[in-house]
Structure 1
Amino acid sequence: MPRYVRVAINIAPINELFDYQVPAALNDQVQPGSLVTVPFGRQMAQAIVLQEIHEPSVPELREISELVDPLPVVTPLQLKLAEWMAAETLSTLPECLDQMLPPGLSQHVDILVSLIHLPDTNEALSTTQRRILNALSERNPLRGRQLDTALAHLHWRDSLGGLVRLGYVSTQPILLPPSIHSRQIRTASLAMPLEQAAAHLRQPESGRKPQPAVLARRQAVLELLAQEGAPVNVSMLYAETGANAADIKTLAEQDLIALEESEFWRDPIEVMPHLELQSVPPLTPAQAAVWQSLQTQFAAPTARDFNLLVGVTGSGKTEIYLHAVAEALAQGKGALVLVPEIALTPQTVRRFYARFPGKVALIHSQLSPGERYDTWRRIRSGVLPVVVGPRSALFAPLPMPGVIVLDECHDESYVQADLRPHYSAVETAIQYARLAQAPLLLGSATPDVEQLYRARRDKWHELRLPERISAAAAPLPLPTVQIVDMRAEMKAGNRSVFSQHLHEELAHTLAQQEQAILFLNRRGSATYVFCRDCGYVLRCPRCNTQLTFHASSSQLQCHICGYHRQMPRKCPECGSPNIRQFGLGTESLEKAVQEEFPQARILRWDADTARVKGAHDLILDHFTQHRADILIGTKMLAKGLDLPLVTLVGVVLADVSLNLPDFRAGERTFQLLSQVAGRAGRSSRGGKAIFQTFHPENYAIRYAALHDLDGFYEEELERRQKMIYPPFSRLLRIEFRHNLPNVVEQAATATGSKFALWAKECRLEMIGPVPCFYSRVAGTYRWQILLKGNDFHPFLAQHPLHSWQPKDIAVDLVVDPPSVL
């Protein structure tokens, strides 16, 4: 009897499901979660099998062509999670399923564009069409994705049809095979006991006795294989013994060693320095109370075991996470542990690996495709049941999640805002825990207002760790915080970036051979450059934002799109040489510290110094080992780092994010200041923090200085309620993009006129249409409309995107956007 399955085609815009027949040869292999190749129209496409069906939607079905992977690539729980994500984030199911596959395994349909011949120079073609032909004349043919790179920011696909009709180019659909595979290496092992093999080796070959040097090399091979006691990479044998290919071949022909092809696992953890195995420390009374509450949930798990762990910085939240993971493993299940930044994963991995050696997987985007693929497969097979990484690690194919942990759950990097699907890892983890009936543990010293409000409204388990832990009997105090009014400093004639108090404390810290952190959430040497004669400001030609000067490279850079250029000697507008740099960034702060404290050893940690793989870990290791006295950096410094020798934190300018036109600006400032201050005083040495600000009366800065989360929460909640902002409503952001400003403005305005009536009917409030705060990014102009209400689904059901989307305008819908800039 034929089998039929329903699949999701791996073509992002397609949100329909399609039915196929399973060929007899694959009857026992294809199952829900399988990755297959299917005929789709006049092309081949990859698809993921969703379910088996008994009644196909059409009478005659086409057959599945190929099974890409013999094992399912998506678990049954992940299939359900992807369906929820698609509905919640207004994305297609293929977009959500694609998040769950490692790079290189999933292949998308593309087109191959081939140049037939070039037109005459007088041919009337558009600029974009000529750019396409120029690209093809340099390299022919090109895939669609290659043209996307070569012609970035151009809508070249709209111009391709005309070239096809004129006969200058041809196109055909293609589907490349997966670009990632397992890696095989040649290994050798002893085929008999060492003594027997050595005796045989000394016997003459065909009446000829081997040369002493040859004999010594081959003897070394046998001894190394005996010492290892397991198959050894032949390349390693060459390097360690000096043997050559002829030696290995002879030993194999004599049946002294066995050669075979073995799979080589590309494991990023192997090259990391590991902590020694740790015994489980005793819990403090506060930790014991938290763990007791969690244990009852592990004993009888339900679909509503949601926990918000609110613990001050240094209170021992990680030990609670370790206990939870140990409990999940004891039940034969796995654990997902998420951290907000790639930079934090090595530090976290080392702690978990020390407790669970050989069971921890590391997943993040800076791993090589091979490392990610091999780690993904070992997770799928259950070999590595503990997964640590940033938000993408949530989609690791654990056979059975037993606990899901999100550390620093307030962090905005848990939201995928730039790419589709626009999902929140926190919201997705909540649904995943519900599906798996696994305890969910969200931890933070500064959970956001919406998380606290939801936990109390929905009666989550709100767990508290109110004190720092210490090896001594008494808990460690939180660092004292002093607010310095920089307006008063300027009135007193101090034009330095350091207030008098911060300067004195830095000098004292260095004299005591302790460490300090200087925090400034702004990169570069100068935040803007302008001509003192005509007032011309150097801006990004693609974004219209001010360019930032970087002295280390003598370049001006755009921190929005990455555009860069050399610093001009003369004003591009009037030719004057009086071009000056103004503003403060981490580069210029580093220079100021070097000038004020020439004896200090300084490290800088920002996106400029940590571009290469492993740089985050290297900088952190240098500072942890006290090979530097002062660490200067951006918001990376606020993310859960444990640095016992740091006794002073100086926030050079606490106002950087305070006045952005975003209703979350106050909350972000409070969280950032609270977190960075928490890096100080994590040992018996104690600690202090200094906030330099031009707004000392601001509520976010005041509450952060007092370490008063509850006070901030009450005031911020009151402010949100007055404006009916989340958590008292939800937001839907509709963004319009086009490379012509008048076109996108007209489209947004026309759509806004329709929405004004529709929104009222659905009890939604409309804000806009208005230009986005960053109104031009990488040559594309941006407008937006915000809808505010409790439920957008009735609105979208009555007015689906295809019924109102303006022609030739890119439109993006984001539910609960992390920012409205």
Structure 2
Amino acid sequence: MPDHPASSVRPAAQSLFDLGMPRFGGEDSPSLQMAQRIARVQIETAAALELDYAIPEKLERQIGIGTRVMVPLQHQRVSAVVIELLESTEYNAKLKEIASLVGSRPMFTPGLLKLANWIAEYYVVPVNRVLRTMLPQAVREKPETFLTDSHLKLAKEPPPDVFEKLHSTAPMQARILEKLRSNGGEATLSELRRELPRATAIIKPLLKAGWITRSEVRVERDPFQTEEFLPSQPLTFTEEQKIAYEAIIAALDGKVKGEADTLAKTPRPELRTHPTLLLHGVTGSGKTEVYLQSIAEVLKRGQTALVLVPEISLTPQTIERFKARFSAQKDAIAVLHSHLSDGERHDEWFKIHEGRAQIVIGARSAIFAPLDNLGLIIVDEEHEPSYKQEDAPRYHARDVAVVRGRIERCAVLLGSATPSLESFQNATTGKYELLHMTKRTDGKSMPLIRIVDMRLERRKGTEVSFTNTGILSQKLRNAVNDRLEKKEQTILFLNRRGFNTSLGCVSCGETVQCQECAIPMTLHKKDNRLVCHICGARRVPPTKCPSCKEPGLKYSGFGTERVEQAVREVFPQARMARVDTDTMQRKNQLRDTLKDFRAQKLDILIGTQMIAKGLDFPNVTLVGVLNADSALNLPDFRAAERTFQLLVQVAGRAGRGEVKGEVFVQTHAPHSPAIQFSRHNDYEGYAAQELEHRLAFKYPPFAHMVLISARGKHEAQAEFTLQTLHKRLEQDLPEGTIMGEPTPAALAKAHGQHRFQLLLRSDKIRALCAHVKRVVEGLTVPSEIYVSWDVDPMNVG
């Protein structure tokens, strides 16, 4: 008989609300009833196995739903999650026992386990893969490994004669006693070590004599422990803010505007009683203040709140606003994002897990924060593509937030100045409640946007030779100079880093490409290296063409490094900084740079998307967008939408103070609808036109998509695998599904692997996903080929 416990597999759930919750022992309590001595577990590290194990008597009261355990499986111990408690199974006599606990309490709430099942079903991934994703690596691998420190306390005062003797015979011991006395009788050993490196040895006689006591205390690795946040007070709402706030409060109460109409359209009560709202507010309209006051109301009700922010917008300024507003509550806010160290992420997660944090702010993966009694989930900048996970499970945090809101029975608020067309369509059809904020706070006007046709600039020629490369137009240079004279600040935006974006041969026309990826290499002049921005490969720039061996090589294109050099040449008196992933290497460097800019120690800020969103600098009156149409020609149906969103967001950084802002958009495609609609900040106009195109070609939001990819080192093998898969998918294809032909991906080669893709569209996503799952599972794929699928992909090029 094989050395593993008997197993049983539950049928896949048919929909979110068909997913039955595993039973607790008692009324929603993780403690185990005496009769329930069997745990059904989901193995974390192997295939998606659900196995049954006996619960040893010593662990009866400690094991509940969501507990992580170690179990024996095929001569080794593996980690697993308890998903159900049973009284008996058909394999009772054969069951092995759970070996041990992982952690002292359940790490998954019932709601998170239900959410994991939904993600596994919808995105077609094993549930164990989802469970691993839900826990930060530092928590999963080393749970409850807290830092500790010795807490020293003055037990009693030495008599004066003893104290005087210590001064002469043991001055270091006397110094420690004096330090404790001056510090209220208490101090930590690490504090003493800063002044006395040998404090560990020095305190031993004092402990033995009974003058001081020692105990171990936990030390939290707080990423903001050195920061001071000045408390802020709620601001007076504008009329539009007040209307939005009242709608959110109604949602917290489980009410929906026009509930009778919603009931007629939506028979499922969960869509009615746990609403999702879309807050469409122009840049500078005060969405953050609405978030803050809504969260304050949630806390008054004894509930918790979760705020998702795109990683790229999770700036120190964002965190500062929340920390300042809720500074009175110690440990009220926990922060989860990728820039934390493993130790900081571990401790922040356990702050949430232990119920000490009432507010969680974080990037995509923070949607899995183990908050109890959720009252409100906020997804700021909900249109951002960074909410989509690139690796399996390829979930979209915005969509997962909506589902978690229904599971947890709480309101969900999506906010953006440029909502995704998917969310906007849901709002206009009544699935979400639509809220509008069309004006900036304090009567501030929207910035004046000027379109600069760079084709005309090239024809006219310029006084400064380097601008012939198309970096700065004459109009933009004049505007920057005007701001410098007025002591106002400027932001220059370009979504490309490096110095030159390509190196080509004037003889044969070949471009120097990465040998592992099918893209041109970018020159980084500081290091004098060509760099691939896909795989990171680096090489010395060649002096001759690698193809025809001729010496005529020419650089073209420009990135932020080139822009910085150009601006320094034209405005040598200006104080400036560049913000991109090349310059922001040191921890807290971004925070320090933005602080300097806010304090007006810098005149010009040059950067990529890192400065495009979420920043509020009142003295910025000019924004220059360089090469605005660079993304328009990408082979992706969302290219124009992203260009529109980016231009509106970047333009929104200007004019947020008392002085009216101005934006210069430099482009070679001035008549593009995305650019023209952004010029007038006309979201509704752009959405109406774009939705008409999407409907005609059955693209989201009028259909769901599944993108299937095959990649491998052998081009023919990868292509043949996808062609075979295409033929299999054609058989019994769900009705209404549109399937394209296998084609090379827009990035045809990356990391040395050739890439092919196949796109399917359907308005019946569950039927399509079930079909894809059946076909893929029944296909034998060569070991050298990797096949993946992405449900609702954000990038299809």
TM-score (normalised: structure 1): 0.86
**1:389 corresponding residue in structure 2:** 362
**Which residue does 2:22 correspond to in 1?**
none
The Cα shift of 1:261 comes to 1.6
Can you give the 5+ residue segments of structure 1 that lack an aligned partner in the other structure?
Answer: 108-177, 204-208
The answer to whether 1:488 aligns with 2:453 is no
Match of 1:313 in 2: 283
Q: What is residue 89 of structure 1 aligned with on the other side?
A: 123
Residue number in structure 1 paired with 2:472: 498
Q: Which residue of 1 aligns with 2:204?
A: 249
Does the CA contact (< 8 Å) of 1:343 and 1:617 recur in 2?
A: no
User: Following TM superposition, by how much is the alpha carbon of 1:686 offset from its aligned partner in structure 2, in angstroms?
Assistant: 1.4
In the alignment, structure 2 segments of 5+ residues that lack a partner are 1-34, 256-271, 463-467
Per-residue Cα deviation, 1:383-429 (whole angstroms, up to 9, x for no partner): 11111111111111112212111111111101102x11000000000
Is residue 533 of structure 2 the alignment partner of residue 540 of structure 1? no
How big is the shift at 1:753? Answer: 2.3
Give the CA deviation at 1:657: 0.5
Map residues 545-564 of structure 1 onto 2, 5 A cutoff: 545-564=519-538
Shift of 1:538: 1.1
Distance 1:38 1:742 in 2: 44
Instruction: Tell me the secondary structure at the aligned position of residue 365 of structure 2.
Output: helix
Contact 2:103 2:144 in 1 (8 A): no
Out of 28, 34, 40, the residue aligned to residue 67 of structure 2 is 34
Percent identity, aligned pairs only, is 38
What residue number does 1:815 align with? 791
SS of the equivalent of 1:714 reads helix
Q: Where does residue 19 of structure 2 map in the other structure?
A: none
1:254 positional shift: 2.1
Over 3 Å counting, the alpha-carbon distance change for 1:378 and 1:229 in structure 2 is farther
Q: Relative to structure 1, is the Cα distance of residues 478 and 672 closer, same or farther in structure 2, using a 3 angstrom cutoff?
A: same
Give the corresponding residue for 2:149. Answer: 185
| 1:637-648 superposed matches below 5 A | 637-648=611-622
- Out of 639, 653, 669, the residue aligned to residue 695 of structure 1 is 669
- The one-letter code matched in structure 1 to 2:646 is L
1:48 is aligned to 2:18: no
SS in 2 for 1:782: strand
Q: For residues 535 and 444 of structure 2, what CA distance do their matches in structure 1 show?
A: 44
Return the alpha-carbon distance in structure 1 between the equivalents of residues 732 and 757 of structure 2. 17
**Partner of residue 441, structure 1:** 413
Distance 1:96 1:633 in 2: 35
Counterpart of 1:791?
764
User: What do the CA deviations read for 1:227-269 (whole angstroms, capped 9, x no partner)?
Assistant: 4447522121132367734431222222221112211111112
Aligned to 2:188: 233
CA distance in 2 between counterparts of 1:469 and 1:200 reads 69
Q: Does 1:7 align with 2:41?
A: yes
SS at match of 1:332: coil
Match of 2:228 in 1: 274
Counterpart for residue 720 of structure 2: 746
Q: C-alpha separation between the residues in 2 aligned to 1:219 and 1:285?
A: 65
Aligned mates of 1:231, 1:41 — CA distance in 2: 52
2:603 is the counterpart of 1:659? no
Cα distance in 1 for residues equivalent to 2:550 and 2:527: 23
CA positional deviation for 1:678: 0.3
Residues 199-249 of structure 1 show CA distances to partners (whole Å, capped at 9, x for unaligned) of 37426xxxxx3344844x444433433444475221211323677344312
- 1:345–1:362 CA contact under 8 A, matched in 2: no
Say if 1:803 and 1:713 are closer, same or farther in 2 by CA, change over 3 A. same
Aligned to 1:174: none
1:202 to 2:138 alignment: no
Task: Answer yes or no: is 1:261 the counterpart of 2:235.
Answer: no
Please, what TM-score do these two structures have when normalized by structure 2?
0.89
Once structures 1 and 2 are overlaid, which stretch shifts more, 520-529 or 565-574?
A: 565-574
1:465 to 437, 448, 462: 437
Asked if the contact 1:218–1:243 (Cα under 8 Å) also holds between the matched residues in 2, the reply is no
1:368 is matched with 341
The reply to whether residue 61 of structure 1 matches residue 61 of structure 2 is no
Alignment CA distance shift 1:568-1:701 (3 Å): same
How far did 1:345 drift? 4.1
Measured in 1, the distance between the counterparts of 2:159 and 2:302 equals 46
Supply the AA of the counterpart residue of 1:706.
H
Letter paired with 2:137: P
Q: What amino acid is the match of 2:796? A: V
Structure 1 SS opposite 2:663: strand
Match of 1:454 among 426, 450, 454: 426
- Give 3-state SS (helix, strand or coil) of 2:455's partner: helix
Query: Partner of 1:592 in structure 2?
Result: 566
**Cα contact 1:349–1:360 (8 A) shared by 2:** no
What is the distance in 1 between the residues matched to 2:139 and 2:567?
A: 48
Aligned partner (choices 401, 425, 431) of residue 429 of structure 1: 401
Q: Which residue of 1 aligns with 2:20?
A: none
Q: CA contact under 8 A between 1:310 and 1:444: conserved in structure 2?
A: yes
Amino acid corresponding to residue 65 of structure 1 in structure 2: A
Deviations 1:294-324, CA, capped at 9 Å, x for gaps: 2222234774221111111111111111112
Alpha-carbon distance in 1 for matches of 2:483, 2:782 = 62
In the TM superposition, 1:709-720 aligns within 5 A as 709-720=683-694
Sort the Cα spacing of 1:230 and 1:390 in 2 relative to 1 into closer, same or farther, 3 A.
farther
* Contact in 1 for aligned 2:725/2:776 (Cα 8 Å): no
Q: State the match for 1:295 in structure 2.
A: 249
Kindly provide the CA deviation profile for residues 512-540 of structure 1, in whole angstroms up to 9, marking residues without a partner as x.
Answer: 11110111111111111123334332111
Task: Please say if residues 703 and 763 of structure 2, whose CA atoms lie closer than 8 Å, have aligned partners that are also in contact.
Answer: yes
Cα gap change, 1:450/1:738 in structure 2, threshold over 3 Å: closer, same or farther?
same
Amino acid in the other structure paired with 2:460: A
Q: 2:646 aligns with which of 663, 666, 672?
A: 672
When residues 2 and 288 of structure 1 are mapped into structure 2, their CA distance, relative to the original with a 3 A threshold, is closer
Q: CA deviation at 1:15?
A: 2.2
Provide the residue aligned with 1:159 in structure 2: none
SS at match of 1:210: helix
Q: Distance in 1 between matches of 2:167 and 2:621?
A: 66
Partner in structure 2 of residue 775 of structure 1:
748
In structure 2, the CA distance between the partners of 1:252 and 1:81, relative to structure 1 (3 Å rule), is same
Q: In 2, Cα distance between the equivalents of 1:317 and 1:198?
A: 63
Deviations 1:571-611 (A, max 9, x none): 33444443221111111111111111111111111111123
Alignment of 1:521-540 (within 5 A): 521-540=495-514
Structure 2 distance, partners of 1:413, 1:393, is: 13
**Larger CA deviation: 800-809 vs 674-683:** 800-809
TM superposition shift of 1:806: 2.7
Q: SS state of the match for residue 420, structure 1?
A: coil
Distance 2:738 2:281 in 1: 37
Matched residue type, 2:542: P
The CA deviation at 1:183 is: 1.4
Q: Deviations over 1:45-69 (max 9, x none)?
A: 1001111123425342111111011
Give deviations 1:453-508, integer Å, cap 9, x for gaps: 012223422111111112xxxx1000000111111111212424211211110110
CA distance in 2, matches of 1:309, 1:525: 39
| Number of equivalences | 734
When the two chains are superposed, the root-mean-square deviation of aligned CA atoms in Å is 1.9
Q: 1:398 to 1:230 in 2, by over 3 A?
A: farther
1:368 and 1:436, CA in 2 relative to 1: closer, same or farther beyond 3 A? Answer: same
How many angstroms does 1:2 deviate by? Answer: 6.0
SS of 2:166's equivalent in the other structure is coil
Match of 1:332 among 286, 294, 302: 302
**Contact 2:503–2:512, Cα closer than 8 Å, also in 1:** yes
Question: Whole-Å Cα distance in 2 between the matches of residues 57 and 765 of structure 1?
Answer: 45
1:651 positional shift: 0.6
Equivalent AA in structure 1 for residue 429 of structure 2: R
Q: Does 2:449 align with 1:416?
A: no
The verdict on how the C-alpha distance between 1:6 and 1:573 changes in structure 2, with shifts beyond 3 A counting, is same
- Secondary structure of the 2:134 match is coil
1:145 equivalent in structure 2: none
Separation in 2, partners of 1:483, 1:432? 42
2:274 maps to what in 1? 304
